[in-house]
Structure 1
Amino acid sequence: MASSYLDGYGSSASEKSISLCETPLTPQTSTESSNPVTEILQLLQRRLSGISIGEEEPWIEWKLNPSAYDELIHIIKQDERLCSYFEAEVRFDYSPTTNKFAVRMPSESHDVFLRRVDKDIGEQLDYMAAKAKDAEEKSFLKTIMSKGSTDIPLIHHGQKLGKRSPDGQFARERANFPAVVIEMAYSHKNLPEIADEYILRSRGRTKCVIGLDVYYGKSPVNKTARLSKWAAESFVHNGQEGVWAALRVDKQEFRYKDGTPNNSPAAGLRIGLEDFAIGDMPTSLLGKEIFISAATLAGYLDWTEETTPGEVIWSEREEGLLLGKPKQ
């Protein structure tokens, strides 16, 4: 029964989600609005029209109760053009337990950085599969895949009422929930609360949440980048099974303020292969892990920040052809 499944405080995980860490990686604030539905619609219409007002935050959040959320979705569906844009291009999160609606718009540098991390994890899994000593190990490793920003449903009182659109995730084939979730940290984005919800709402099927706290924008003064990790931990209380989100790594710096990397061989992103298990893990893989050193993470971030999109430079002849001018 859902009501007998407990969270880390002995409360029903189907009734509420409690943040297990009081201090977020970056300061949490919320956009307070007398009419959040109107503000959200204005933002969506502005983006649909290609209108930009300065540099918008990659995470914009409103307090929105379930009835207001239903109203928002109803209005969007009445506008065919807006609805098509919303469903195809807008990444958003809605949590009915925290009453928070957020629109995501990751910066290009953060997105590229995450893809480098994602690629590294995938390559390590492929390497392990290639070196597997038997078919059981190979089969286990080959069923782990990246699912990018695919939406994750949030279960509330037995119903799928909310969702999250993570920055990155890895899951086993045919799994209903990702085993590992990766999220970037921004101001307004409470990562401890989000990690808590991923783990509790999946009943511990999401076993690991990685938080990457990287300064938004290029700063010549502060280049600090941090890593945090939450892990699902089971417990039994008065005969009832439960799960809670345990903070395992707390804001470990992989790049220091002056831009130098953390060269400690022990520092970095670690994901145990058991985090991908669904009760069927080969015992020979216990204790093995994915590891990306802090220095490697810093290198990925440096490369991302130093890389700029290429420009197409047209010759006079090419411009003439482009504009349909006759040859001279």
Structure 2
Amino acid sequence: MAEPNSHVKDLQPDCDKGGQERRTPESQIFSPPTPPPTINRAQATNPSDETQVLTLFVARANQRELETDTGLVTFSISPEQYLRLQRALKLETRVKNFVDDKVRFDYEPTPGHLTVRMPSAIHVFAVNALSKRISDWLSATAEGGDQAAEFAAEIANGGSARISLDDVSDDESQPSKPVRREPDAQFQHRGALYPGVVIEVSYSQDGKSLRKLAYDYILRPTITYYVQMATFEQLSGLT
């Protein structure tokens, strides 16, 4: 086992995965800190490679203040770079544990995008409000004595748990690559392979990206989803 990186000695894993860490205004631009010494600096020629992603993870694990800590940060990461990132994380056990438990990110092997989610407080509020409303409705439905009650009783709130989908490729000769998603919220029947309800809230991100997310959730698994969009004003009255 490699010696832990000195950059992770101040690890304080006391923030939640919903993104409640310290934040600065969303309008600023994220500038990655200096790559940690365990990473080959020759690899850091591109500010969007796996070295910079690992540097961001280390900074967040150490509760280091970043220029931007809300919204979305997207990096260009090839499947090969993504594998190198995973191997690098395995050498930094405390950082890997922090990332697995606290950091939300999506990865698309095609076109090679890794997006770290850093939601704002109002984003988290909207997600929690909608999730609570759905959970309350499911609990009330489960109190009945019919088949709907039995079905509702088996639906669980999955939060932002990771969802693995297959990469859609026109070339059938190419092996499928897993697509990683960590949605804002989800609800899944205990007997289902995928969640039947996936929630993505667009506050700190471009609303147009929701169409791409809906495409992924609908077409990648062999499941039919119903897509519903609502404004924050509608969601704010749910609690």
Name the TM-score, length of structure 2 as normaliser: 0.69
Matches within 5 A, 1:82-231: 82-130=95-143, 132=144, 134-156=145-167, 159=176, 161-185=178-202, 186-187=204-205, 190-205=209-224, 207-211=225-229, 227=230
- Counterpart CA distance in 2 for 1:96 and 1:208 is 25
Deviations 1:144-197 (A, max 9, x none): 221111111112377562211110011111311111111122336711111100
Deviations 1:4-34 (A, max 9, x none): xxxxxxxxxxxxxxxxxxxxxxxxxxx9x55
Deviations 1:230-255 (A, max 9, x none): xxxxxxxxxxxxxxxxxxxxxxx463
- Counterpart CA distance in 2 for 1:181 and 1:98 is 23
1:78 partner amino acid = L
Unaligned 5+ runs, structure 1: 1-30, 212-226, 228-252, 256-293, 304-328
Shift of 1:138: 1.8
Match for residue 55 of structure 2 among 37, 42, 46:
42
Q: For 1:103, what is the secondary structure of its paired residue?
A: strand
Deviations 1:67-102 (A, max 9, x none): 111111111112222222222222111112332111
Shift of 1:58: 2.5
- Counterpart CA distance in 2 for 1:148 and 1:114 is 9
Q: For 2:236, what is the secondary structure of its paired residue?
A: helix
1:173 partner amino acid = R
- Counterpart CA distance in 2 for 1:97 and 1:164 is 14
Q: For 1:68, what is the secondary structure of its paired residue?
A: helix
Instruction: Indicate if the aligned counterparts of 1:114 and 1:168 stay in contact, CA closer than 8 A.
Output: yes
Instruction: Indicate if the aligned counterparts of 2:183 and 2:199 stay in contact, CA closer than 8 A.
Output: yes
Shift of 1:136: 2.0
Deviations 1:102-153 (A, max 9, x none): 11122233213211211111212222333x4x43222122122211111111
2:153 partner amino acid = K
Distance 1:91-1:47 versus aligned 2 partners, 3 A rule: same
- Counterpart CA distance in 2 for 1:198 and 1:142 is 24
- Counterpart CA distance in 1 for 2:189 and 2:73 is 31
- Counterpart CA distance in 1 for 2:84 and 2:197 is 32
Distance 1:126-1:61 versus aligned 2 partners, 3 A rule: same
Distance 1:48-1:137 versus aligned 2 partners, 3 A rule: closer
Bigger Cα Rg:
1
Instruction: Indicate if the aligned counterparts of 2:74 and 2:116 stay in contact, CA closer than 8 A.
Output: yes
Partner of 2:71: 58
1:51 partner amino acid = R
- Counterpart CA distance in 2 for 1:202 and 1:139 is 25
1:201 partner amino acid = R
Instruction: Indicate if the aligned counterparts of 1:149 and 1:169 stay in contact, CA closer than 8 A.
Output: yes
CA RMSD, aligned part only? 2.5
Shift of 1:208: 3.0
Distance 1:144-1:64 versus aligned 2 partners, 3 A rule: same
1:74 and 2:87 matched: yes
2:163 partner amino acid = I
- Counterpart CA distance in 2 for 1:158 and 1:170 is 29
- The total of aligned residue pairs comes to 187
Q: Which has the higher strand share?
A: 1
- Counterpart CA distance in 2 for 1:172 and 1:158 is 29
Distance 1:58-1:210 versus aligned 2 partners, 3 A rule: farther
- Counterpart CA distance in 1 for 2:232 and 2:88 is 44
